[in-house]
Amino acid sequence: MVTITNRTRRMKVFLLPHDLICKATGKCHCGISKTDKTRLISSLTIPAESRVVGLSQAILTLPEIQLAIKRGEIEIEQKPKKKKKDTPKADKPAPQSPSQ
Ligand SMILES: [Zn+2]
């Protein structure tokens, strides 16, 4: 899980391209236009001086995010998951052996 903090006094909006985000997360976040059936790319909005928690690691692959990090506009926090990283699918609970 990734937390992004907007350190600027301006709202930041990042587009979440299907090829990068949806494919990486294995889940499509895009909307579909009801009028012409085209794919509507979703976006991430971070209000000024606010933080957004619980984002996918895939967000870090976005060039716009990388650029904003370099510019010091946003700050990234990565929290290690309690579960194992190599769970094949996020929507299924991984079988865990009681090890306590
Ligand atoms: Zn998508």
Ligand 1: centre distance to CA 96 (Å): 31
Q: Is the pLDDT of residue 78 over 70?
A: yes
Whether the Cβ atoms of residue 13 and residue 45 lie closer than 8 Å to each other: yes
Does residue 85 sit within a domain? no
Structure confidence at residue 40 (pLDDT): 92
Residue 13, domain extent: 2-78
Residue 14 belongs to a domain: yes
40 C-alpha to ligand 1 centroid (Å):
8
> Residues 62-69: contacts with CB within 8 Å, 24+ apart?
62/14, 62/16, 62/17, 62/20, 62/21, 64/14, 64/15, 65/4, 65/14, 68/12, 68/14
Would you say residue 83 lies in a domain? no
Structural domain contains residue 97: no
pLDDT at 85 over 90: no
Residue 94 lies in a domain: no
Q: Does residue 27 sit within a domain?
A: yes
| d(CA 1, ligand 1 centre) in Å | 19
pLDDT confidence of residue 3 = 97
Render pLDDT for 41-58 as a digit per residue (tens, 0 to 9).
999 999 999 999 999 999
Task: Please count the structural domains in the chain.
Answer: 1
The answer to whether residue 29 is domain-embedded is yes
- Please tell me whether residue 61 adopts helix, strand or coil conformation: helix
Q: Is residue 46 part of a domain?
A: yes
